[in-house]
Structure 1
């Protein structure tokens, strides 16, 4: 599960991120609405934590913009304001829940877990692109009638590719989203795993789905996409 924390207070952002990372969530943090929209456009997050007051825009406007992108992931709004009107405005803008600052970490974690369970219940457990189908609940992958056996990390890599079809994905983005770490130019870990995935998913079939974009990274989809 990946979570985007949008909070302009560095100490609070770090504290929230650390608490969530200790529970094995992948966490990115940004301090402005602009940065949040840039990352949200990739639509790879399972939940958003939005501060109501940001330096460059109102969190309510940011929440509306995220929903306009077609993103359905749960949004938990963090606010230092206890007024009912602002909370209602936040919920009306598309937020699923709100939490008033200061808050206890245990309460934050409980809200996050509840929203993620709600999102998982409403989201299809299957990802499909062409003849490739991934069952997230059963942890299985098929291409046509053939079942493809993958390691846990190969499964995570394919899931990311399936969620971003026909997009050019850089090695740095893949490393950050799949491995949850910074990309090192001298590392070939992405290339190794892509090669393994190709061998299992592409090699036995005439139509190739994983394509190298020279100088950039990879794209998943039909060759003429």
Structure 2
């Protein structure tokens, strides 16, 4: 994708651009809010990553101006203002997602990929990884010929991992996408559900498909 990163911190901008560039994206950087807005209004970008506090134009002003001009490009707001109230203001102001600094690059990449998929055709009804299949319509899961009974949260966890596969899905993303939490409850909620899910999915299989990526999150892939 062609992305515009509006970020006035040169070190942070280079870090993000290098990470996304390694994934095959074309990233252009603007350090000034007004220049970034001017470009976003006239150039065909697939996604914007916008800092909140910028010279000339605040990130919220940029997003509001784009929406007023009926520019519906996805916007990920990336900022040090990470309170719940700040997130609500950003999302209600027109941003599609909100990621607080400091952040893990893997989570940023996963969120960019998720926003890109929202603009793509709907994902397939049937998801498959090796001999594991998940039917999103019937909500049935099989490993080979064996039917696996999952609880609703377990099904949502597996669906999320397969939709992202083989990318890493962070704990924060799972809390938001599966439990709709905009905060970390400080419990082992994700870990306990993932442990039960892994026991059901990988038990008796030829090889494990659900993996813990230390310090980052979880991923589904065939080793």
Over the aligned positions, Cα root-mean-square deviation in angstroms equals: 1.3
Structure 2 residues not aligned, in runs of 5+: 123-223
Equivalent pair of 1:20/1:27 in contact (CA under 8 Å) = yes
Residue in 1 aligned with 2:100?
Answer: 100
Do the aligned partners of 2:82 and 2:99 also contact (CA within 8 Å) in 1? no
- 2:206 matched to which residue of 1? none
Structure 1 residues 11 and 17, CA, compared in 2 at 3 Å: closer, same or farther? Answer: same
SS in 2 for 1:41: helix
Secondary structure of the 1:67 match is: helix
Instruction: Give the aligned partner of residue 29 of structure 1.
Output: 29
In 2, the alpha carbon distance for the partners of 1:38 and 1:58 equals 13
Corresponding position of 1:66:
66
Q: Displacement of 1:69 after TM fit?
A: 2.0
Matches within 5 A, 1:194-213: none
The aligned runs of 1:42-61 (5 Å cut-off) are 42-61=42-61
How far is the alpha carbon of 1:23 from its aligned partner?
1.0
Cα deviation, 1:3-61, whole Å, max 9, x if unaligned, reads 00010000110110111111111111001111111211224101000001112222111
1:109 aligns to 2:109 (yes or no) = yes
Indicate the residue corresponding to 1:150 in structure 2.
Answer: none
Q: Distance in 2 between matches of 1:8 and 1:82?
A: 18
Q: Residue 7 of structure 1 contacts residue 31 of structure 1 at CA under 8 Å; is this kept in 2? A: yes
SS of 2:121 mapped into structure 1:
helix
How far apart are the structure 2 equivalents of 1:56 and 1:67? Answer: 19
Query: What is the aligned length?
Result: 122
Confirm or deny: 8 A CA contact 1:43 1:71 kept in the other structure. Answer: no
Aligned partners of 1:76 and 1:99 also within 8 Å: yes
Residue 40 of structure 1 is matched in structure 2 by 40
Q: With the length of structure 2 as denominator, give the TM-score of the two structures.
A: 0.53
Q: How does 1:167-182 map to 2 (within 5 A)?
A: none
Q: Is the 8 A contact 1:73 1:119 kept in 2?
A: no
Where structure 1 has 5 or more consecutive residues not aligned to the other structure, the ranges are 123-225
How many Å apart are 1:121 and its aligned residue?
Answer: 3.2
1:7 counterpart residue number: 7
> What is the distance in 1 between the residues matched to 2:90 and 2:114?
18
TM-score (norm 1): 0.52
Paired residue secondary structure (2:99): strand
